[in-house]
Amino acid sequence: VKTEGSIQDLPAVWMEGSDVVMIEQRKLPGVFELLRATTTDEVALSIRDMAVRGAPSIGATAAYGMAQAQMLGEDLDTAAEKLKATRPTAFDLFYAVDLMQKLARTGGDLAEASRSYADNLTARCRRIGEHGEKLIRDGARILTHCNAGALATLDHGTALAPIREAHARGKGIFVFADETRPRMQGARLTVWELMQEDIPHALIADNAAGHFMQRGEIDMVITGADRVTLAGDAANKIGTYEKAVLARENAIPFYVAVPVSTIDFSMEDWRDIPIEERGEDEVLSVWGKRLSPEGARARNPAFDVTPAKYITGIITEEGVFKPEEIGGLKDRLGTL
Amino acid sequence: VKTEGSIQDLPAVWMEGSDVVMIEQRKLPGVFELLRATTTDEVALSIRDMAVRGAPSIGATAAYGMAQAQMLGEDLDTAAEKLKATRPTAFDLFYAVDLMQKLARTGGDLAEASRSYADNLTARCRRIGEHGEKLIRDGARILTHCNAGALATLDHGTALAPIREAHARGKGIFVFADETRPRMQGARLTVWELMQEDIPHALIADNAAGHFMQRGEIDMVITGADRVTLAGDAANKIGTYEKAVLARENAIPFYVAVPVSTIDFSMEDWRDIPIEERGEDEVLSVWGKRLSPEGARARNPAFDVTPAKYITGIITEEGVFKPEEIGGLKDRLGTL
């Protein structure tokens, strides 16, 4: 994550001693601040209340949380349970906690294992960028949704990794960033990241993506995902399904970029993915400002599922796959 | 328009002497306030800066503005020009101004003509409600976008007229209201109107409409429109096209409700409809609160076009028509 005003280059989350330290993403871009979690409860809260967000960053935070518990001599099963109870949709969370638990049972040092998990993730995102960059033509106008950038993935990003790479290679790209109501990750985080890298962009209301597709102003879509099924379906931030349907309707390729740790090889039917419903207030208010009348009601699903038929390709650190090829990767990749 | 705290029942705009008086829609629902426009410039500003909005209400405001100019002895061609220069997409604006100009040229009294235009519009919206109500089954869950309610149309509404009528007849309906970024007309105005009528509802992020359609929780969609072409295409608030594509993808009927004054019988190709692009700040900020970093860029088209192929039916005061039947109405209705 490149930060403003200095040459700092930080991951979204890291460890200092037994503290889990992270960029406080709820206050960006107005305030740049670090948050220090010193207990499992604090780590769990930072995930649940979205100080840290984005499936890969959540996975890394949870891995560090398990390492912290081991360092402090706490019960690892209790820690695992608390961490897994934070957010139901992102698969990396369960992947990382299960992996740490398994390693601990065979006497592994989780401080080292979690650091290597994080280093690994950063390297994977870089490879996602290299594979995905090949799909981007010179001058491409790319739509992205939510924030699947460095903040969401420790560094580089998933959806933003190919975009950064294409920009670095001088491809003259332009990015449309959906603002991504209700939590505005596009307006706050993606635009901030794009500005740090001097990538030309336009923030748009989520409502406007279809219009720009219809008018031929968008050449491709790249998003991240919080969980990919065996069939290549992708759960991601609410609104992703809308953009995918619109992309197909307008014959625009739609790519999902994820590390393999986001693929849930045990999930066959997308209808089984738990969809987190968050509080009504995120919709009734906008960033603390109440817009709707008192007594108004709202519903607030945080994720939706894009069935495989709308997905052109899934960009991973192992290469770009068609959704129907994901199942075949189970034996090769599902045992990491 | 039913208002809070009293038994007031006001239209969105009316005349007092030569003053054009309107409900100040930019401050709703927090503050209920009237705005009084005493000159053509003030009337034009109230339209341009959206104190009054919604194609039919804009049309009525412009008719009153022409009446005001006549009463004050001003040049009607100048007044017409100023009023027409406010917002390019809504057809009722041009329809109402042209009608008043034609009547004035034959010696008509615009005070009376504009009042009759408004009375007529209110009666038309009531008939839209009666025709549209027949399409709504008991217990239907209906999605609407933006605000095509009483505020947008003097009274009753266009999209909301059938909804009010179905509710009044005890059909046990439920309304999903898109919040409608960037100007939040759904969150501020539609939800407010639904609450005045005790209609069960949920406000949702624009991103969530597709999810609820995919999960079978929405039975039909009804929106208003700012301009309907001869071919039955409909320009409406940005995001309408997205919902229409998603509705068709999920086999959900999609209706557009408009008075005949919104049909532009001279417009054959929807690509010719001028689409207003508003300032970047509406996207970079939310209701005065800056969310995006300084220096960020945005694009902000205010409308999009839903081609006829996505529209199940167009609900008018003359009945419900298929888009392809609109052209045939030209001789019968195009000379009002």
| DSSP per residue, A95-138 | HHHHHHHHHHHTT--HHHHHHHHHHHHHHHHHHHHHHHHTTPPT
A29–B206 C-beta distance less than 8 A: no
Strands A141-144 and A174-178: parallel
Residue for token digits 């960006």?
Answer: A28
Interface test with A, best of B198, B211, B294 (most A CBs within 10 A): B211
Which of A187, A201, A211 has the CB atom closest to B291's CB atom? A187
ipTM of the complex: 0.95
Mean pLDDT over A9-27 rounds to 95
Answer whether B148's CB lies under 8 Å from B55's CB.
no
Mean pLDDT over A271-296 rounds to 92
Is residue A26 over pLDDT 90? yes
Sort out which chain B residues have CB atoms less than 8 A from A300's CB and list them.
204-205, 208
A204–B205 C-beta distance less than 8 A: no
Band (pLDDT 50/70/90 cuts) for residue A335 is low
B289–A286 C-beta distance less than 8 A: yes
Distance CA B20, CA B39 (A): 9
Does the beta carbon of B211 lie under 8 angstroms from any beta carbon of chain A? yes
Q: Which residues of B are catalytic?
A: 226
Does the beta carbon of B299 lie under 8 angstroms from any beta carbon of chain A? yes
Please tell me the predicted confidence (pLDDT) of residue B335.
54
Name the β-bridge partners of A321.
A314
Average of per-residue pLDDT values in chain A: 95
Please tell me the predicted confidence (pLDDT) of residue B173.
98
Distance CA A39, CA A41 (A): 5
Residue for token digits 């020009």?
Answer: B81
Each residue's pLDDT, cut to its tens digit, for chain B (336 residues) gives 877 655 468 999 999 999 999 999 999 998 999 999 999 999 999 999 999 999 999 999 999 999 999 999 999 999 999 999 999 999 999 999 999 999 999 999 999 999 999 999 999 999 999 999 999 999 999 999 999 999 999 999 999 999 999 999 999 999 999 999 999 999 999 999 999 999 999 999 999 999 999 999 999 999 999 999 999 999 999 999 999 999 999 999 999 999 999 999 999 999 999 999 999 999 999 878 888 999 999 999 999 999 999 999 999 999 999 999 999 998 887 554
Looking at the complex, report in whole angstroms how far the Cα of residue B2 sits from the nearest Cα belonging to chain A: 14
B184: nearest CA partner in chain A: A291
Answer whether A296's CB lies under 8 Å from A219's CB.
no
B210: nearest CA partner in chain A: A242
- Spell out the alpha helix ranges (H) of A5-159: 40-48, 55-71, 76-84, 91-105, 110-133, 150-153
Greater model confidence, A309 or B2: A309
Which of B181, B249, B288 has the CB atom closest to A207's CB atom? B181
B203–A292 C-beta distance less than 8 A: yes
Strands A303-306 and A263-264: unpaired
Please tell me the predicted confidence (pLDDT) of residue B5.
56
* Full 3-state SS string of chain B: CECCCCCCECCCEEEECCEEEEECCCCCCCCCCEEEECCHHHHHHHHHCCCCCCHHHHHHHHHHHHHHHHHCCCCHHHHHHHHHCCCCCCHHHHHHHHHHHHHHHCCCCHHHHHHHHHHHHHHHHHHHHHHHHCCCCCCCEEEECCCCCHHHHCCCCCCHHHHHHHHHCCCCCEEEEECCCCCCHHHHHHHHHHHHCCCCEEEECHHHHHHHHHCCCCCEEEECCCEEECCCCEEEECCHHHHHHHHHHCCCCEEEECCHHHEECCCCCHHHCCCCECCCHHHHEECCEECCCCCCCECCECEEEECHHHCCEEEECCEEECHHHCHHHHHHHCCC
Please tell me the predicted confidence (pLDDT) of residue A5.
56
Distance CA A293, CA B197 (A): 13
Does the beta carbon of A206 lie under 8 angstroms from any beta carbon of chain B? yes
Please tell me the predicted confidence (pLDDT) of residue B333.
72
Looking at the complex, report in whole angstroms how far the Cα of residue A271 sits from the nearest Cα belonging to chain B: 9
What tens digit of pLDDT does each residue of A73-119 get?
999 999 999 999 999 999 999 999 999 999 999 999 999 999 999 99
Which of B203, B289, B298 has the CB atom closest to A203's CB atom? B298
Question: Residues A92, A155, A226, A264: which is the catalytic one?
Answer: A226
Please tell me the predicted confidence (pLDDT) of residue B334.
58
Please tell me the predicted confidence (pLDDT) of residue A333.
73
